[in-house]
Structure 1
Amino acid sequence: MPHSLVLNLLPVAPIPSQFLTGRHLHALFLNLVSAVDSDLSAYLHDQSNEKAFTLSPFQVSRKEAYKSSTPQTQKRVLPPAAGTISQALQWEQKQAIRENTAIWWRISLLDDGLFDRLTELWQQLNFDRPWHLGPTDLYITNILSEPQSNQPWVDFCSYAELFDRASDTERQIAFSFCTPTNFRQGVYDSALPTRESIFGSLANRWNKYSNRAIEPNFIEAIFPSYFDIRTEVSTDSRSKFIGCVGDITYRIMGDVDPVVIKQINSLADFALYSGVGRKTPMGMGMTRRLQIF
């Protein structure tokens, strides 16, 4: 069952920026899992592609982010686009996160077969135990697992329900790329979100973890109708990741079977959980479907 949870965290000392990279947060997640189920942690670590989870970068409140930012770091916060319901995310911290700063961290789970074991993880976590991130200890203050009016990144829905609820008439599909997003094309990466790369990525993850296959043979019916995107770079001491952020809207054109429209909408709704593109277990490719008014 796809499940998107948010952990609220509190560090008791500053978290240096070099320990806020995707690989450090990836290791922290596996440590959380290992504390309850070491075999599951090893399994998740060894998955070579289309991993069963995604992570966000650490998020601090907007007020705190802007208060401590410089002109160079302010551009790392993505503003919402006009006419949509979006949410700014931070994907790169140039400065340490100060002690006693409230942080939220999104974790999504994709694998129906592992869902019960992962649910048990949240039920058994010790809230009095400190977790180590670099030189810092931090505490989990609570876990949001039910939909929240003020936290659009929390939700859950089975694959069957996602498909059943999807519209078979809605022809506009709008996405917001909230952290840098890119796609593998052959031996190289591309930061351009083409219809093939987006829906191909969604279909691959859907087909791996659900029992209802969706073949992306509808690509030629999908056309971009609006886009406001730009390239951004996320760097750490070992690598540079170039991706796109911003909003893009696609429209389904022509005489398309309602079942196909339903499949396209199912994949678009699934984006909240799966993200798109590369390095989603390290905070990249976080994507949400937008409401259009």
Structure 2
Amino acid sequence: MPHSLVLNLLPQSPIPPQYLTGRHLHALFLTLVSSVDKTLGDRLHDSNADKAFTLSPLQTNSPLSKRGSQLQYSHQQPIPAGSPCWWRISLLDDTLFSQLTQLWLNLNPNHPWHLGPADLYITSIQGTPQSIQPWANASSYTQLYEQASDRETTIRLTFSTPTAFRQGKFDTTLPTRECVFNSLLARWNKYSGIEFFDIAIESIFPSFINIHTEILADSRSKFIGILGEINYRLLGEVEPIQIKQINALSDFALYAGVGRKTTMGMGMTRHLN
């Protein structure tokens, strides 16, 4: 069962921008995991396989974070002490969620967590849909499939943090139907228990594109990804069950993200119904 959890945070001291990278937030997540299950934390740290979680960049309540569906993915200035922030963690399988149950149930709002030199308090966790917080949600894979439309042939996807895809040895920023939907399909088949064997990928065509590329650089690397919105249309003779599968994968994007570095805050994607 996928969960999309939004942690509301309050920094007690300024967070320097160099500690707001995906790498540091990834380390903070592993610290949270290790606090309740050190073995699991070590295993997630050492695993090179596709991991059953995704993370967002840290978000503030500044005007920048309210510009449509795009999220903050880099910070040029420190986040001041006392500035409310939020951070999305998605978990793609029940095993991982249940192993972390003690973390959610025994949350101490007075226990500081560390992000670089800054102390953070986790003040609350949202795990159900909110009108002002579209990134919080939970749904079983069965519900995702059963509630997916078998008639809607226009798929509106918004890429909210820089998104890129691996092709062979290199990255590509072009969100082709193969890159986007095969990324979702691989994660769906790995975690859902409801395998799709023959999705109608050859029937998916882009009908509206409003994207641009952004460069995200830190001291270690440079990442180039797309932001924006794409509408895909299902054209030709497509069976209702195939329409349903494509819509289910699109709804699943909220939890799984698409493309590369989803455990570092990249590839955050939503299906706009």
Q: Is residue 2:223 matched to residue 1:241?
A: yes
Counterpart CA distance in 2 for 1:270 and 1:47 is 23
List aligned pairs for 1:1-293, cutoff 5 A: 1-63=1-63, 65=64, 79-80=67-68, 87-215=69-197, 217-291=199-273
Counterpart CA distance in 2 for 1:144 and 1:78 is 19
Deviation at 1:100, TM superposition (A): 0.6
Deviations 1:247-273 (A, max 9, x none): 000000011111111100000000000
Contact 1:175 1:249 (C-alpha < 8 Å) held by counterparts: yes
Contact 2:199 2:242 (C-alpha < 8 Å) held by counterparts: no
Query: Secondary structure at the residue paired with 1:288?
Result: strand
- Residue identity opposite 1:248 in structure 2: I
Counterpart CA distance in 2 for 1:189 and 1:78 is 29
Deviations 1:198-244 (A, max 9, x none): 00000011111111111354111000000100110111110100000
Which consecutive aligned stretches of 4+ in structure 1 deviate over 6 angstroms post-superposition?
none
Counterpart CA distance in 2 for 1:101 and 1:215 is 47
TM-score under structure 1 length normalisation: 0.90
Counterpart CA distance in 2 for 1:196 and 1:275 is 15
Counterpart CA distance in 2 for 1:104 and 1:23 is 17
Counterpart CA distance in 2 for 1:217 and 1:12 is 49
Q: Percent identity?
A: 59
Contact 1:200 1:216 (C-alpha < 8 Å) held by counterparts: no
Deviation at 1:284, TM superposition (A): 0.3
Contact 1:203 1:216 (C-alpha < 8 Å) held by counterparts: no
Deviation at 1:115, TM superposition (A): 2.4
Contact 1:206 1:213 (C-alpha < 8 Å) held by counterparts: yes
- Residue identity opposite 1:160 in structure 2: T
RMSD of Structure 2 on Structure 1 (CA):
1.3
Compared with structure 1, are the counterparts of its residues 216 and 130 closer, same or farther at alpha carbon in structure 2 (3 Å cutoff)? Answer: farther
Structure 1 range deviating more: 188-197 or 125-134: 125-134
Query: Secondary structure at the residue paired with 2:100?
Result: helix
Please, which runs of 5 or more residues in structure 1 have no aligned partner? 66-76, 81-86
Counterpart CA distance in 1 for 2:52 and 2:108 is 23
- Residue identity opposite 1:237 in structure 2: S
Counterpart CA distance in 2 for 1:253 and 1:121 is 46
Deviation at 1:125, TM superposition (A): 2.6
Query: Secondary structure at the residue paired with 1:90?
Result: coil
Counterpart CA distance in 2 for 1:53 and 1:164 is 23
Compared with structure 1, are the counterparts of its residues 78 and 275 closer, same or farther at alpha carbon in structure 2 (3 Å cutoff)? Answer: farther
Deviation at 1:113, TM superposition (A): 2.5
Counterpart CA distance in 2 for 1:253 and 1:112 is 35
- Residue identity opposite 1:236 in structure 2: D
- Residue identity opposite 2:25 in structure 1: L
Figure out how many residues of one structure are paired with residues of the other and give that number: 273
- Residue identity opposite 2:238 in structure 1: V
- Residue identity opposite 1:11 in structure 2: P
Contact 1:16 1:95 (C-alpha < 8 Å) held by counterparts: yes
- Residue identity opposite 1:150 in structure 2: I
Deviation at 1:116, TM superposition (A): 1.4
Contact 1:36 1:124 (C-alpha < 8 Å) held by counterparts: no
Contact 2:70 2:159 (C-alpha < 8 Å) held by counterparts: no
